[in-house]
Amino acid sequence: MSSTSTRVAGTAIRTRQSSRVRGRSWLLVQQLAIGLGIVLVWWLVYALGWLSTDILPSPLSVLVQFVLLAGSGTFWVALLQTLATAATGLVIATVVGVALGLVLGLAPPAERATRFLLDLGRSFPVIALLPVMVLILGTRFQMEATVVFLAVFWPVLLQTIYGSRRIDPVVRDTTRAYGIRLRLRFLKVLLPAAAPFIATGVRIGASLAILVAVGIELLVRTPGLGFELGAAQSELRPDIAFAYLIYAGLLGLGVNALLERLESLVLTWNARGDVLEVQP
């Protein structure tokens, strides 16, 4: 029965392919129309003076700043600084998180002993550590990277533990039956099996890393996108602040898309390891 419906559906999809190009450009037109609609509403609110111009800039002035920023050195330096902070924290967190996660995944007693700490860690708003970290390390790059690391570490760790425990019991029995050595089991069985979940953890972590990096720049005024955005706002230049906001969103979108592409290149053999809830 199901074979009937799949076949039928498959045929239907194939027949639709010819009209797909037309459908896709029509979709693009509709998406652009939505974008125009948003700008129009924005412009109306602005033009009717419902909100002060100190609060809501005109769409046009934001567009101008958006273009101007792309040609300004300040912007690119700020972007790179934010990226550097986020990337450093993310890389360290991935290395430490994956290593520790695989160990905890392999050793249930260790996992049970650390369960409360893990629960506490993942629900801890790490950005609250910022003032303490500033006291200890000062407003340096090391401090920023450390705070990002502390925030990103948890999702990577939890996803790794989850992934390494999701290993198929049959695979586990097979490796034991054939007496595969520990080192090989670790590298050739456990790591690939957990890889899709680790990848998801890294993707969650990347978004979080940018968020925390921007947050730090905003709060302790270290250089970066967050600092520029806050500065523009306090200089009553909401047009520049909005332009930075849009760039911040595009940065998140870009990094996410990049990691998804990377993931599909590296993890060709496996589906995405998304989980609804990480429960160690």
Partner 1 sequence: MRSTRSFLLAFLEQAWLPVLLVVIWWFASEGNTNPFFPPLSKIWDSFVTEMSSGQMELHLWASTRNILIGLAVGVVVGVVGGTVIGLSRRLRAVLNPYLQFFRTLPQVAIIPIIIGAFGITAVPKIWAIGFACIWPVLLNTVDGIRAIDPGVRDMVDAYRITTWRSIFRVVLPGALPQIMAGIRISLSVAVVLMVVSEIYAATEGVGYFIHITTGLFQTDKTWMGTLLVGLMGYLLSVIFLLIEKRALRWYHESAS
Partner 2 sequence: MTTAAEGTAMDDPRQSTATLEVRGLAKTYGTGAEAHEIFAGIDLTVAPREIVCIVGPSGVGKTTLLRCIGGLLAPTAGEVLVEGQRLRGPVPQIGIVFQDYSRSLLPWMRTVDNVAFPLESKGMKKSERIPRAEAALEAVGLAGSGSRYPWQLSGGMQQRAAIARAIAYEAEILLMDEPFASVDAQTRADLEDLALDLRQRLGVTLVLVTHDIDEAVYLSDRVVVLSGRPASVVDVVDIHLGDDRDQLTTKSLPEFTEDRARVLRQIRRP
Binding residues for partner 1 (CB under 8 A): 27, 30-31, 34-35, 38, 51, 54-56, 109, 112-117, 119-120, 122-125, 127-132, 134-136, 207, 210-211, 214-215, 218-219, 225-226, 229-230, 233-234, 238, 241-242, 244-245, 248-253, 255-256, 276-277
CB of 185 to partner 1, least distance (A): 25
Two tokens, residue 126: 């790490």
Q: Given the rule CB under 8 A, which residues bind partner 2?
A: 1, 3-5, 7-8, 11-12, 14-16, 18
Cα–Cα distance measured from residue 157 to residue 154, given in angstroms and rounded to the nearest whole number: 5
Q: Which residues contact residue 152 at a Cβ distance below 8 angstroms, ignoring those fewer than 6 apart?
A: 89, 90, 93, 94, 97, 205, 206, 208, 209, 212
Residue with tokens 């992934």: 163
Cα–Cα distance measured from residue 214 to residue 249, given in angstroms and rounded to the nearest whole number: 11
Residue among 11 and 264 whose Cβ is closer to partner 2: 11
The entry of partner 1, partner 2, none near residue 139 (CB within 5 to 8 angstroms by kind) is none
The entry of partner 2, partner 1, none near residue 189 (CB within 5 to 8 angstroms by kind) is none
H helix and E strand count, the chain:
12, 0
Residue among 1 and 265 whose Cβ is closer to partner 1: 1
Q: Taking each helix axis as running N to C, give the angle between helix 191-220 and helix 130-137, from 0 to 180 degrees, rounded to the nearest 10.
A: 80
CB of 111 to partner 2, least distance (A): 29
Residue among 51 and 184 whose Cβ is closer to partner 1: 51
